[in-house]
Chain A
Amino acid sequence: MSDITAEELMAITASRLLQDHKVVFAGVGMPLLASGLARHRHAPHLTIVLEGGIIGAALRPGKLPISTNEMRAAYGAQMLTDITDIFLYAQRGFFDYGFLGAAQVDMYGNINTSVIGSMDRPRVRLPGSGGANDIISLCHEVLIVTQHEPRRFVERVDFITSPGYLSGGDSRARAGLLTGRLGAVVTDLALLDFEPASRRMRLAALQPGVTVAQVREQTGFDLLVSDEITELTPPSAEEIAIYRELRDGPVAEPAEVAS
Chain B
Amino acid sequence: MEHVAVLAARAERETSARPATDKRMTAEAAVQLVRDGDHVAIGGTLYSRTPMALVFALLKQRRRHLTVSRPLACYEIELFLSTGALDRIVTSWVGIGLPWGLAPVFRHYVERGEVHYDEWSHLAMGLRYKAGAMGVPFLPTLTMLGSDLAARVDLQTVTCPYTGERLAAVPALNPDVALIHAHRADMFGNVQVDGYQHMDVDMARAARTVIVSAEQIVGPEEIAARPDQTMLPHFAVDAVVAAPYGAYPHECYGRYGPDLQHFDAYAAAAKQQGPAAALRYVQDNADADFASFLSTAGPDRLAALAADAQELMPR
B111 to A128, Cβ gap below 8 A?
Answer: no
B46 to A69, Cβ gap below 8 A?
Answer: yes
User: Which residues of the partner chain A approach B113 to less than 8 Å between Cβ atoms?
Assistant: 120-121
21 contacts between A and B (CB under 8 A): A52-B48, A52-B198, A69-B45, A69-B47, A74-B195, A84-B123, A84-B129, A90-B123, A121-B111, A125-B110, A127-B95, A127-B103, A129-B149, A130-B93, A131-B92, A133-B124, A134-B124, A137-B121, A175-B145, A176-B167, A178-B142
A134 to B195, Cβ gap below 8 A?
Answer: no
- Contacts A69-B71, A166-B146 supplied; 20 other A-B pairs, CB < 8 Å: A53-B197, A67-B47, A83-B126, A84-B199, A91-B143, A114-B148, A114-B149, A126-B102, A127-B103, A129-B92, A130-B92, A130-B122, A131-B121, A132-B121, A134-B123, A159-B148, A161-B119, A176-B142, A176-B168, A178-B165
Please report the C-alpha to C-alpha distance between residue A143 and residue B200 in the assembled complex, in whole angstroms: 30
> Does A29 interact with chain B (Cβ within 8 Å)?
yes
A82 to B166, Cβ gap below 8 A?
Answer: no
> Does A66 interact with chain B (Cβ within 8 Å)?
yes
> Does B177 interact with chain A (Cβ within 8 Å)?
no
The residue on B at minimum CB distance from A123 is B111
> Does B56 interact with chain A (Cβ within 8 Å)?
no
A80 to B72, Cβ gap below 8 A?
Answer: no
Task: Mark B176-216 against chain A: 1 for CB-CB distance below 8 A, else 0.
Answer: 00000000000000000001111111100000000000000
Q: How large is the interface on B (under 10, 10 to 19, 20 to 34, 35 or more residues)?
A: 35 or more
Contacts from A to B (Cβ < 8 Å)? 28-29, 51-53, 63, 66-67, 69-72, 74-76, 80-84, 87-88, 90-91, 114, 119-134, 137-138, 159-163, 166, 171-172, 175-179
Please report the C-alpha to C-alpha distance between residue A82 and residue B149 in the assembled complex, in whole angstroms: 23
The residue on B at minimum CB distance from A131 is B122
Q: Which of A51, A67, A137, A178 contacts B48 (CB 8 A)?
A: A67
User: Which residues of the partner chain B approach A132 to less than 8 Å between Cβ atoms?
Assistant: 121
**Min distance, Cβ B193 to any Cβ of chain A, angstroms:** 10
User: Which residues of the partner chain A approach B254 to less than 8 Å between Cβ atoms?
Assistant: 71
A71 to B309, Cβ gap below 8 A?
Answer: yes
**Min distance, Cβ A209 to any Cβ of chain B, angstroms:** 30
User: Which residues of the partner chain A approach B201 to less than 8 Å between Cβ atoms?
Assistant: 82
Please report the C-alpha to C-alpha distance between residue A88 and residue B142 in the assembled complex, in whole angstroms: 10
Contacts from B to A (Cβ < 8 Å)? 44-48, 71-72, 91-95, 97-99, 102-103, 106-107, 110-111, 113, 117, 119-124, 126-127, 129-130, 141-149, 152, 157, 165-168, 195-202, 251, 253-254, 257-258, 309, 312, 314
A87 to B195, Cβ gap below 8 A?
Answer: no
A128 to B144, Cβ gap below 8 A?
Answer: no
Known: A71-B251, A72-B312, A125-B106. A83 touches B45 (CB 8 A): yes
Q: Which of B93, B127, B196 contacts A127 (CB 8 A)?
A: B93
B144 to A84, Cβ gap below 8 A?
Answer: no
A91 to B195, Cβ gap below 8 A?
Answer: no
User: Which residues of the partner chain B approach A175 to less than 8 Å between Cβ atoms?
Assistant: 145-146
Q: Which 10 A-B pairs have the closest CB atoms?
A: A84-B126, A175-B146, A133-B121, A87-B123, A130-B93, A82-B197, A176-B145, A131-B122, A134-B123, A69-B45
A124 to B111, Cβ gap below 8 A?
Answer: yes
A163 to B146, Cβ gap below 8 A?
Answer: yes
A70 to B258, Cβ gap below 8 A?
Answer: yes
